[in-house]
Amino acid sequence: MKAAAMGLAGVLALTACGGGDPGDGGLGGSSKKRVEIFSWWTGPGEVDGLKAMRQIFERRNPNFTFYDAAVAGGSGDQARALLSSKLKANRPPDTFQGHAGAELQGYIKAGKLEPLNFLYDELRLRDVFPEQLVEQITVDGNIYSVPVNIHRSNILWFNPKVLKDAGVSGPPKSIKEFVDALEKVKKAGRIPLSIGPQWTRVHLLESVLLGSLGTERYNALWTASADWSGADITTALENFKKITSYAGTPQEDWQPAAKQVADGEAAFNVMGDWAYGYFANPPDGGLGKTAGQDFDWASAPGTDGTFMWLSDSFTLPKGAPNRDGAIAWLKVAASKEGQDAFNPLKGSIPARKDADRSLYKDYLAYSLEQWATNRLAGSIQHGVVANDAWRNAINEAVGRFMQDRDVAKLQRALVGAAKNSGQ
């Protein structure tokens, strides 16, 4: 929260120091109007994708200039804290990134977002986005966001050479096989599992829950009749405790944790498929590593056949200073050109059904096929199944658990979080 407060102070200071006519977007007399794009895309891969969309936006809209208001921090926790402060102060950006699904419910209920039905009608987006995705982002007949992509959360990244050296024949397919593999890597003297900050542990937890419970039971956790008190949940949390006992020193964000795998320091990392762009992109925007040699992937243990999904999207805040500029950005984000420029660099697949498949190779070709054939489950950490209050409660419970390692206490906290979610 201190970081968020400092970030807000910095944003307000920049606004105050902009100079010029308030109507010129703070550009000191320029005829171009600034469009503030608020996101958490600051890391290699994702920032490259954002730059690619920016180029399209500025080419299509010569009267607008792109203002990157991105806030660092994987998964967007710091960005959302700052965004909440800005919205409460009635100082919204022109548009902001949000995960499609339950994450946006708080903004919608608070009356902070404009419906985008008009844009869906104008661009015929209901015809080009998957029906299930449109249903997920529709609230009481209104749509409040434009999805840019589809990501998969439940991916196990691994270093083939480290596994071979440890006597592990291949990526583990079950939770038990995963624990056995982690133990072999530990005995071989390498880091069994790399990990990042707090949010990456919740990211790991969702895959362990899915791999332990199965798709149907996992999906039932997010219904009105959800039961978090059962023995199967206890078993899943015991699995989480065992797996996290093999984790190395927490890294400052997901990128350095992933890099430990690519560099051969660690065997495994459970992270979303945005890691692919980081691994594979050239060194000026990634690690320049070779798939199948320096890194490889599989479904997280126990989750093969299920695509745990999330989607980055952009919104139109009520009272946006430059509403026309925000709509112009949303049109780029929704477009085939914009999504095909963004997603291969970001390490995601397009939300649109008509994207150019020839651009999506290697992992991304695999992901397109998986998305089309797998069962679906929604991510916890990335806003699909749990609103912000519920997600925050889960994060707090996991944070306490990483200190006291008390499974019973963690389960009680998760039971309470579900009861108090208001979802």
Q: Where do the domains of the chain lie? A: 20-150+311-369, 152-308+380-419
- Residue 404 is predicted with a pLDDT of 98
Asked whether the whole model's pTM tops 0.75, one would answer yes
d(CA 158, CA 77): 26
Question: Which tokens is 388 given?
Answer: 């912000």
How far from chain centre, in Å, is Cα 322?
Answer: 26
How confident is the model at residue 74, as a pLDDT? 63
Alpha helices in 17-143 (DSSP H): 46-60, 77-88, 105-109, 117-123, 125-128, 131-136
Whether 20-150+311-369 shares its CATH topology with 152-308+380-419 is answered: yes
pLDDT band at 9 (very low <50, low <70, confident <90, very high): very low
Q: What's the Rg (C-alpha) of the chain?
A: 21
Higher pLDDT, 383 or 180: 180
Q: How confident is the model at residue 75 (pLDDT cuts 50, 70, 90)?
A: low
In the predicted structure, residue 125 carries a pLDDT above the cut 60: yes
pLDDT tens string 285-324 = 789 999 999 999 999 999 999 999 999 999 999 999 999 9
CB of 273 within 8 A of CB of 203? no
Mean pLDDT across the chain: 90
Going by their DSSP bridges, the two strands 312-314 and 146-147 should be labelled as antiparallel
Question: Domain 20-150+311-369 class?
Answer: alpha beta
For 352-392, write each residue's pLDDT tens digit.
999 899 999 999 999 999 988 898 899 999 999 999 899 99
What's the residue count for the chain? 423
> Which residue would you say has higher pLDDT here, 12 or 48?
48
CATH homologous superfamily of 152-308+380-419: Periplasmic binding protein-like II (3.40.190.10)
Residue 261, C-beta contacts closer than 8 angstroms, at least 6 positions apart:
157, 158, 159, 162, 194, 267, 268, 269, 295
In whole angstroms, give the CA distance from residue 367 to residue 363.
6
**For range 183-188, the mean pLDDT:** 98
Taking alpha carbons only, the member of 150, 122, 20 closest to residue 328 is: 122
- In DSSP terms, which residues pair with 306 in a beta bridge? 375
Which among 135, 138, 81 has a CA at the least distance from the CA of 104?
Answer: 138
Question: Which of the residue ranges 69-83, 165-179, 231-245 would you say has the lowest mean pLDDT?
Answer: 69-83
User: How big is the CA angle at 384 (ends 354 and 340), to the nearest 5 degrees?
Assistant: 25
Say what the pLDDT of residue 132 is: 73
The pair of three-digit structure tokens given for residue 270, joined into one six-digit string: 């459970």
User: Which of 213-227, 271-285, 376-390, 399-413 is predicted most confidently?
Assistant: 399-413
